[in-house]
Every structure is written in structure tokens, then in C-alpha cells.
Amino acid sequence: MGNGKEHKLSKHFEAILGINFENEVVYNFRHNIAIQTVSRGSVTTRNFGTMGNNTKGCSNNGQILNMSGFAKTDGNGSVEIMILDFLCGDHTFRVFQTPAIVVATPRSMSPVFVTTRALQTPDQRNLKISFKTWEINGAPAPNIFFNWFCQVPYLIRNNI
């Protein structure tokens, strides 16, 4: 065993499971990190032209990704995630569109704010979401756990 904590953990598992792990053990824990749904959806657009053309349009040929998960900020009160790190299934031909809507809720008994920013990668095949947590006085709030939700439209392009 590598250190005392690992050895202690092994002994707890041995007692619970009634097995002897001998000298070497490989732990493989599974923990849910995100939930996703995909549905057909429409995206409403508005044309703003210099000719006074202010018309609304709808696109019904895309998919909408709804995804939620949890994360924790670092010692500076910030963390960045890439949405593909949480996404299951084949995303080879997925091209993310805008807007990406992101909401975060801190899991704290003290007042804390969370700010978010979502940006497409240059090839539009991934989404980088930045989170920052803040104390009420404006100072960064380190090591804050939070839940997040992201909704983003995307297209399937077979010729990428």
C-alpha cells in the first residue's frame, strides 16, 4: 500500500466486504458526474438589418442538449470544464450553436455568488464553461461545490 490512509481504507473495505485484499488492490469507484437529455428543438432568431428589417425566424432542424452536473472551484475560486468531458454517446459530428445558457447554484450555507461564461471552441465541437465563485464582499470564494445546468443547441454535420 502506498500510504497509511490507503492502508486504512483497505482495512475498512476488507471488514465491510469480508475479503482479504492481500498486498495490492486497485480501487475502481463510480460516481455520477452529469445528467443529459437531448431533444429536438427550435431556435428563434431575429434579423437586425440596416434597412429596418427586424424580422423573427425559426430553425427547427437542430437538437437541444440539456445537461447538468456538479463541480468545485479551486483555491482561487475558479474552475473551467469542457462539456465533452461530461457528455456520453457519439459526439463526433456535433457542432454547438449559440446561445449556450448556463446556470450554477452554490452548495453552501453561507452567501456565495457564482458567475459563468460559456464559449465555443474555435471548431465549435466543444464548449468551455468557466465558473467563478465570490464572497459577498467581492473576494474570490475558494473551494466551493456547486451544481450547474447548461442548455445549448447543436447541429449534426456529417461532413466534418
How confident is the model over 61-79, as pLDDT tens digits?
678 999 999 999 999 999 9
C-alpha cell at 116: 459563468
**21, 64, 78, 115, 126 from 7: Cα distances, Å:** 10, 46, 33, 40, 40
How confident is the model over 11-65, as pLDDT tens digits?
776 676 666 666 555 666 666 778 888 888 877 777 776 666 677 777 776 789 9
For the chain, domain boundaries = 1-30, 34-156
Strands 113-120 and 127-134: antiparallel
